[in-house]
Amino acid sequence: MTAGAVLFALGLTMLAGLSTGIGSALAFYTKRTNEKFLSAALGFSAGVMIYVSLVEIFAKAQNSLELVYGPTKGSWITTLGFFAGIGIIALIDHFVPSEENPHEMRDVGEMAATAEEKERSKNDALMRMGLFSALAITIHNFPEGLATFVGALHEPALGVSIAVAIAIHNIPEGIAVSVPIYFATGSRRKAFRYSFLSGLTEPLGAVVGFFLLRSFISDAMFGIVFALVAGIMVYISLDELLPTAEKYGEHHVAIYGLIAGMGVMALSLLLLA
């Protein structure tokens, strides 16, 4: 493992995390978000994440673990790791109240209506919503950052695929943090700062995870982490990205985006094979 490989993986993770800033820009500099575009983009991201998780990441996890533990035990550990990843991210979602969960998406129009209807005395509630969204995103981004980092470290092309999918996924999270804070304070700068800082959690998760796991890096460790990552990404896609894509736009726009994401991911894997 070279210093260059570590820096490349960290750079990808940084870019994926800081895409929350794109969400802030969409929120501040358009009167209304382009809902069809967001719907297609979220569907596309879900397609990429589902395809790469089930076809590429799960298979790599199984191959690594079978080399260490044999076909039967390796397959069992891979499957258990996959569902453990689903369990971890589901548990995190469970402990974040839906009113303050960034994955319970609200578009910019809804936030504007809320701000107009509420009196100035209720701005504290909006500020609290934004801060709790930032906290929730911080918790969610930790495993996502580790997923991107480990993927890029093990195989750069795979890391790029994960980073692109997670970057698209992070755009509406930037909206979820910045819009309520902006309407509560009237400060675009303050709202952007909180959104930006919440995105920094992804590279932080990568760095912390790397220092905790670097002494244990092996085929077995990569296999277990990849199995967890596959489960986490499938859960995010089915529980967050697709429902949000449906909310932002028409059903078929989200599905076309999903299929396009799978197609692009499949083609990229074939070309890189």
The residue with greater pLDDT, 170 or 68, is: 68
- The mean predicted confidence, pLDDT, of the chain is 77
List the chain domain ranges: 36-272
Residue 115: the pLDDT is 46
pLDDT at 118 over 50: no
**CA 204 to CA 197: how far, in whole Å?**
11
Q: What's the whole-number mean pLDDT along residues 130-141?
A: 64
Sequence-distant (6+) residues with CB within 8 A of 230 are: 53, 54, 57, 58, 61, 81, 82, 85
Least confident segment among 19-28, 46-55, 119-128, 172-181: 119-128
**CA 172 to CA 151: how far, in whole Å?**
23
Residue 83: the pLDDT is 97
pTM above 0.75, yes or no: no
Sequence-distant (6+) residues with CB within 8 A of 199 are: 17, 18, 19, 20, 21, 137, 141, 170, 174
Q: What's the whole-number mean pLDDT along residues 247-265?
A: 84
Condensed to tens digits (0 to 9), the pLDDT of residues 195-219 reads: 888 888 888 878 877 777 677 767 7
The residue with greater pLDDT, 123 or 192, is: 192
pLDDT at 30 over 80: no
Condensed to tens digits (0 to 9), the pLDDT of residues 183-196 reads: 777 788 888 888 88
Alpha-helical segments (H) within the chain: 3-17, 20-29, 35-51, 58-69, 71-94, 108-117, 123-154, 156-185, 188-199, 201-213, 219-236, 242-248, 251-272
Confidence band, pLDDT 50/70/90 cuts, at residue 273 = low
Residue 200: the pLDDT is 83
The residue with greater pLDDT, 51 or 81, is: 81
Residue 6: the pLDDT is 82
pLDDT at 152 over 80: yes
Residue 119: the pLDDT is 46
Condensed to tens digits (0 to 9), the pLDDT of residues 88-99 reads: 888 877 776 555
